[in-house]
Amino acid sequence: MATALETAKLEVSAFFSAIARVKTFRPTKYNRNGATYTVYEDLGDGNAGQKKLAVHQAVSLITSKGFSLPTDTRFYVTNTYEAQNRAFHFDPLGRPVCWVTLGMAATKGGSGSGISAQPTNNFAPETKVTIHEIGHTLHAHNVGVEQFFKPSTKDRWKGCAVCAGEVSQYAAGTKKEFVAEVFLGTMIGRNYSNKCKQEYALLGGPRILASSSSSGFMAMS
Ligand SMILES: [Zn+2]
């Protein structure tokens, strides 16, 4: 069986082949709210402007809640099919990075069964997709490469039915998606039952700092 680092390397090579399909990316470096990140804009993506706004909004919300992003944080904005909405958390040497691709479906809220596709007052689908993807990265860095790439982290799990009702259908898919969806929901101001919060903490969900979020919660660890 592949080691965690081998799995991480496979993922990252998938990332490179996805972005290689885009002919021209225009990189712009931003330094906002203490976060430094680069947006790579596919000049053929008609929704690029909208997605860039989503990136700024997502980063500023997340950093305002006390999280910091890795030094190497990049967002690839494109409309090629190969680049789906994904997040890559480790570079080929296993070092923590945050590389997010926002593909064709970003402006529709991704797969359609998650919070990103639900109508919400203040957040566009692409902003929610970005928060969800960053949630995966923060989760991965929180638990570390070994734990995150354990096959069981991709499992379906017992809390599914309950949490699907409370969080989203997509959250019931796997432990990883549950964490990313609860992270997203909390960031946009939703609150969840204690059972749900406990499950999130047990799975190593990124700790939400009580001091900076009225609707947030502390992890149990
Ligand atoms: Zn996800």
pLDDT by residue for the chain (221 residues), tens only, comes to: 678 888 888 888 988 888 888 888 999 999 988 899 999 999 999 999 999 999 999 999 999 999 999 999 999 999 987 888 999 999 988 899 999 999 999 999 887 899 999 999 899 999 999 999 999 999 999 999 888 888 776 666 666 666 778 999 899 888 899 999 999 999 999 999 998 998 899 999 998 754 334 344 444 33
Q: Which among 70, 51, 58 has a CA at the least distance from the CA of 188? A: 58
In a domain, residue 186? The reply is no
Distance 10 CA to ligand 1 centre (A): 18
Distance 137 CA to ligand 1 centre (A): 10
Q: Which residues pair with 217 in a beta bridge?
A: none
Distance 91 CA to ligand 1 centre (A): 19
Distance 156 CA to ligand 1 centre (A): 14
In a domain, residue 55? The reply is yes
- The packing angle between helices 175-187 and 194-202, to 10°, is 120
In a domain, residue 48? The reply is yes
Distance 130 CA to ligand 1 centre (A): 10
Distance 181 CA to ligand 1 centre (A): 7
Distance 152 CA to ligand 1 centre (A): 16
The number of domains in the chain is 1
pLDDT for the residue 159? 63
In a domain, residue 182? The reply is no
Distance 49 CA to ligand 1 centre (A): 23
Domain region containing 61:
4-153
In a domain, residue 95? The reply is yes
In a domain, residue 148? The reply is yes
In a domain, residue 22? The reply is yes
pTM passes above 0.85: yes
Distance 179 CA to ligand 1 centre (A): 9
Distance 202 CA to ligand 1 centre (A): 18
pLDDT for the residue 216? 42
Distance 210 CA to ligand 1 centre (A): 24
Distance 48 CA to ligand 1 centre (A): 21
Distance 114 CA to ligand 1 centre (A): 9
In a domain, residue 187? The reply is no
pLDDT for the residue 157? 63
Positive or negative, the CA dihedral 56, 59, 61, 66 is negative
Q: Which among 87, 122, 126, 89 has a CA at the least distance from the CA of 104? A: 126
Q: How far apart are CA 216 and CA 134, in angstroms?
A: 17
Distance 180 CA to ligand 1 centre (A): 6
